[in-house]
Amino acid sequence: MFTILKVIKPFFLPPTLIALGMLASLILILKKRTRAGKLILGATLAVYYLLSTLPAAYFLTRSLDQQYLAAPSPETGGAEAIVILAGGADQSGKDKPFAELSGISWRRLWRGLEIYRQLDKKMPIIYSGISGDPFDQYAGEPGLAKQYAVSMGIPQDDFWTEVEARTTAESGIYVRRMLDERFPKAAQHTIVLVTSATHLPRAVSVMERHNIKVLPIPADFRVTQPVFLSPLQWLPSIDAFSASLAALHEWIGRAGYWIVALGLKTGGI
């Protein structure tokens, strides 16, 4: 099921859909169905253009990354651990002499370390997740994050790594299992959860599904610039397209979880 979902998901995301739209328009034009080809090409270009502008990116991300701006202070929640969800890493290879965390992972890690220090180093950090690529399951990201954290003064014993979860849903399972092992007497577990602002609503719902109380802390805001509707904001940019893609990725992910949960409930999966 994991591999099937990972293979299917790109076909619902803009890069693949735009490529398919351009391919379909080209085939239709070559087959002399010029009108239909032009219509599909025009629609494809319109979608690409809109997703690449700041107003569209702002509209798509705002409903997600604004949900936890007024997050409760972790100081009052009695949390057991700070959980940072993995965001990706590049492994070393022939053309890359060393492994690196992605920009998303760096921002999540840095925010988690800030919270750790704000809480006077009173609770451990759990870094959860490995590569979600079913064909290249690189598992070195948590260890890499720990190396960075230790080099910045975090005690090794305060930085725990979870190296099995390939998805947000699996992070809920394995984080809960780790908490049960580390805090067996707790009636209910409470965590400070750090992840990207757009990802936080889905991640919170996953943890709560496993009876974990969550104190959400957003990081890695994708759109921070308010929309003034100036002419420059209507020019396509890679940053706006990336933010739009991240938001759509989250909405599709939430829909996928809902479908799987419904299938399990009805016995269809």
Cα 218 from Cα 115, distance rounded (Å): 11
199 with 105, same domain? yes
Residue 225's pLDDT band (boundaries 50, 70, 90)?
Answer: low
Percent of the chain's residues with pLDDT above 90 = 66
pLDDT of residue 264: 47
Residues 253 and 207 in one domain: no
Is the C-alpha dihedral spanning 249, 255, 256, 261 positive or negative?
positive
Please enumerate, as own/partner, the contacts of 44-52 that have beta carbons within 8 Å and a separation of 24 or more. Answer: 44/18, 47/14, 47/17, 47/18, 47/21, 48/14, 48/18, 48/236, 48/241, 49/236, 51/14, 51/240, 51/241, 51/244, 51/245, 52/236, 52/237, 52/238, 52/240, 52/241, 52/244
Q: Could you tell me if 46 and 13 lie in one domain?
A: yes
pLDDT, tens digit, 9 for 90 and up, residues 159-204? 999 999 999 999 999 999 999 999 998 889 999 999 999 999 999 9
At residue 109, does pLDDT exceed 50? yes
| Domain identity same for 51 and 132 | no
Report the domain count for the chain: 2
Containing structural domain, residue 33? 2-65+235-266
pLDDT of residue 4 exceeding 90: no
Q: Is residue 229 part of a domain?
A: no
> Do 205 and 79 share a structural domain?
yes
- Structure confidence by residue, pLDDT tens digits, 125-162: 999 999 888 788 788 999 999 999 999 999 999 999 99
For the entire predicted model, the pTM comes to 0.89
Whether residue 101 sits in one domain with residue 214: yes
Q: Is there a single domain that holds both residue 17 and residue 109? A: no
| In a domain? residue 130 | yes
**Same structural domain for residues 49 and 22?**
yes
The pLDDT of residue 62:
86
pLDDT at 268: 47
Interval 24-82: pLDDT, tens: 999 999 999 999 999 999 999 999 999 999 999 998 998 888 888 866 777 777 899 99
In this structure, what CATH number is given to the domain that contains residue 158? 3.40.50.620
Pair 107, 150 in one domain = yes
Instruction: Report if residue 199 sits inside a domain.
Output: yes
Q: Is residue 91 located within the same domain as residue 168?
A: yes
Query: Residue 224: inside a domain, yes or no?
Result: no
Are 214 and 91 in the same domain? yes
